[in-house]
Chain A
Amino acid sequence: MSKLKKFYMNDKIISPLIAIVISFIIAAIVMILIGKNPATAYGALFYGAFGTEGALINNIMKATPLILTGLAVGFGFRAGLFNIGANGQLIIGALLATYVGSQMQTFPFYLSIPLMLVVGMLGGALWGALAGWLKAARGAHEVITTIMLNYIAVFIANYVVNGPFQAPGGVPKSPEIAYSARFPNLVTTGATWLSAGIFVALAAVVVVYIIIEKTKTGYEVKAVGFNPYAAEYGGISISKNVVLAMAISGALAGLAGTMQVMGVYYRYLGSLGGSMGFDGITIALIGQNDPIGIAFAAFLISSIRAGSNQMQIAGVSKNIVIIIQGIIIFLVAANRLVKTLMVWKRKGVEEI
C-alpha cells in the first residue's frame, strides 16, 4: 500500500522531470547530427542562465511574468477552465495600471505601488470574468471567448497607444508611469536591473497555494473542476465559481502585465504582451497546474531562454532552444505514456 502511495506522490514530480531529461537528450542527439558539440552547447546554456550576475538577473526577470501567467492558466485549469486569454487579460491589466500610474505624479510610493498593483489585477480580473460570465450565463466555451477577447484587447491597446494615450514622439508607447510607482530594484548591473517584482511573483505562488489548498473558495473551485454536476448536487454554485475562477485567473495575468510595466518598461509598450500569455499555458502544463510546480517550470523555461544567447554565441542556432521547449511540452502532455512506462518498469522489477 505504501509503495503505491509513494508512486502517486512522486508521479507529479517525476513525470515532468523525466520529460525534461529526455528532451535534453533528444536535443543533444539533434546537435550531434548537425555537427555541434552538445557539451559545449549545454555549458554555454548553463553559463548564459546562471554564469554571471547579469545572466542570473536576466533569468529571474524572464521568470517573473512566466510564474504569474503560469499561475493564471494553472488556476483556470484547476477549475476545469481553459484560460487561453491570459494575453488579453495581462494587456488590459497593464494598460489600466499604466494609465493610473501615469497620473500619480504627486503620490508617495506607498500609495502608488499598491494602487497600481490593485488596478492591474482588477483590469485582468474584469477581462477574465467577462469570459467567465459568458460561459456561466450562456454556455459560451471559454476557449473561444478568451481568444476573441485577446484580439479585442490587442486592438484596444494598439488604438490607445497610437492615439489618446501616446507619449510625444510619434512612437506607439504610452507616457511613463510616475517615478514613485516604479517597483524598487534589488540589483543594478551594467544595463540591466533586477526588479523586486520577483517577490510579488513568489508571493503570488504562496497565495495561490493557500487559496487552492486551504480555503473554501479553492475547494469549491476544485470541485467544479473535477465534476461540475456533482459539485452542484453538493450545493456549490457552478456559475459563481466559474466566474470567480476566471476572475482570479485574469487577476494573476493582469498582475503579470502590471509587473512588466512597473519593473521593466515603466510604460505600456506596443509589444508588452509578447508570448507571455501563451507561455503561461506551457508553464501550467509542465508545472502540472500546481503552484510550486509552476514556479519551477517558469524557472526552467526562463533559464533555457536566458541561456539561449550564450548558446548562439557558441554557434548553436536559437532554434535548438525552441526544439527543447517543444519536446518538453510534448512529453509532459503525453505523460500518460511516461506513467505507463513506469508501471511496466515496476511490473518488470516485481516479476523478477
Chain B
Amino acid sequence: MKKYVVALLALVLIMSTIGAAVTVFFVTDTGGLGDKSFNDSAWAGVQMAVKKFGITANVIQSYEQADYIPNLTAAAQVSDVVIAVGFMMQDALAKVAPQFPNTKFIFIDGVVKAPNVENFLFKEQEGAFLVGYLAAGVTKTGKVGFIGGIPIPPVLRYQYGYEAGVETYNVLNGANVQVLSGYVGSFDDPAAGKSMTNSQFSEGADIVFAAAGLSGLGTIEAAKDAGPGHFAIGVDQNQDYLAPGFVLTSAMKRVNIAVFDGIKSVVNGTFKGGTTVLGLKEDGVGISPMTYTKQYVPKSLLSQLKVLEKAIISGKLVVPNTKESFQSFQVPAIQF
C-alpha cells in the first residue's frame, strides 16, 4: 500500500513539474517588441501561456537580419520551446531547427518542414478584404492607400486582399475607388512610414492601410497630424486606441492565439510538426470593433460587411492573396 502511495505521489510530483519546467524563448524579428502589432501580439500570446500554464518565458530581440541564426541558436540551447516570429526568419530557422531535434519550434508566418517545427500561417487577405471594402465605403475622396513593410508573402496577402475588397465594393456599389500602394522597405522605420503616408495623403487618399509593423506607427501618426477626415487602418492587433478617432479600424491577426495554441500543444504533449492555416472561419483574422469610429461608418455598410464575412466563411467568396489570383479575381454576385 505504502509503495503504491509513494509511487502515486512521485507521479503527481513529476506531472506537476512538467508544466512548470517548460521554458519558452521568444525570438523577435527586427521590428522588436514595442511595434504594437506583430511582435507584441506574439508576446501577448506567450504571456497568456505563462498565466495559464505557469511556464517560464523570456525574449531575445533581434537587432538585424544577421542576428536571426545566432539568436535562434542561443535560444534553442537553453530552452525547451523556441517561438520564431516572422517570415524573414524562415531561412535562418530552416538551418537552426535541424541542429536541435529535441527543441520544439513554433513558427509564425512561414513554413519550415521539420518534425520539430509547428508552423502557423494566416489568411491575412480575408481580414484585409473586409478592411478594404470598409475603406472604399467610407472614403470621401475616392482614393485609399496601402503601405507595406517589405513585400514578403504575409504582407502581399494583406495587399491583395485589401485591393480585392476595394474592387468588390466598386463592382457591387457602382463606385470607382482607387488604391495607391507603396512599400517602405523595412518593418522598423516609423519615420519612413509617416512620410510615405503623407505623400499618399497629398495624392488624394484619405484612408491609408499600413501593413508594416513598427513602420505603420508612422502612418497612424500621420493620420492624426493630418486632422479629421484622414484615417489610418491598423494591422495585426487592435490599434484603434493608438489615435482614437483617426484609426478607422484594424485588420487583426490573432498571432497571440496561434502562439498560445502552439505552447498549449507542447504542454499537453500534442505537439506535432506541420502547418496550421488560420482564417476568418477559425477566428484567426478579423476586423476590430471600431470603438472610436463607428460614427463614420454607415449602418448599411456594416451589415454588408456581415454578409461578406459569412460569404468568406462559407467559402462562397475566395479572397485572392497573390498578384496572379488578384488579377483573375471575379467579384461574385452577392445579394445584400
Contacts and interface: CB of A to CB of B under 8 A. Distances in A.
Contacts of A61: 66
A312 to B, nearest CB: 4
A309 B60 contact: yes
A289 B64 CA distance: 25
A306 B70 contact: yes
B65 A312 contact: no
Interface stretch (B3-11, B71-79, B114-122, B164-172): B71-79
B63 interface: yes
A315 B58 CA distance: 8
Contacts of A321: 63
Contact of B151 (A154, A162, A310, A313): A162
A274 B58 contact: no
Given A191-B99, A192-B69, A171 B153 contact: yes
Contacts of A271: 30, 64-65, 88, 150, 186
A191 B65 CA distance: 15
A306 B71 CA distance: 9
Interface in B35-65: 58-61, 63-65
B61 A318 contact: yes
B74 A309 contact: yes
Contact of A191 (B25, B67, B69, B88): B69
Contacts of A308: 63
A312 B153 contact: no
A91 to B, nearest CB: 11
B183 A264 contact: no
Nearest to B68: A191
A38 interface: no
Given A170-B156, A274-B66, A313-B58, A158 B185 contact: yes
Nearest to B79: A313
Nearest to B58: A313
B63 A172 contact: no
B153 A170 contact: yes
Interface residues of B, number: 34
B185 A264 contact: no
B242 to A, nearest CB: 22
* A-side interface mostly: helix
A274 B73 contact: no
Given A172-B150, A190-B73, A306-B70, A312 B185 contact: no
Contact of A312 (B60, B66, B150): B60
A192 to B, nearest CB: 6
Interface residues of A, number: 33
B95 interface: yes
A190 B66 contact: no
Contacts of A270: 150, 185
Contacts of B72: 191
B322 interface: yes
Contacts of B156: 170
Interface string A269-286: 111101100000000000
A154 B185 contact: yes
Contact of A58 (B59, B70, B183): B70
A317 B99 CA distance: 27
B152 interface: yes
A62 interface: yes
A184 interface: no
B96 interface: yes
Nearest to A275: B64
Given A271-B186, A275-B64, A172 B152 contact: yes
B79 to A, nearest CB: 9
Nearest to A317: B61
Interface of A: 48, 54-55, 58, 61-62, 154, 158, 162, 170-172, 190-192, 264, 269-272, 274-275, 305-306, 308-310, 312-313, 315, 317-318, 321
21 contacts: A48-B74, A54-B73, A154-B185, A158-B185, A172-B151, A190-B73, A190-B99, A271-B30, A272-B65, A275-B64, A305-B67, A309-B67, A309-B74, A312-B58, A313-B58, A313-B60, A313-B75, A313-B78, A318-B60, A318-B63, A321-B63
Interface of B: 25, 30, 32, 58-61, 63-67, 69-75, 78, 88, 92, 95-96, 99, 150-153, 156, 183, 185-186, 322
Closest 6 A-B residue pairs measured CB to CB? Answer: A191-B95, A58-B70, A318-B61, A312-B60, A191-B96, A274-B64
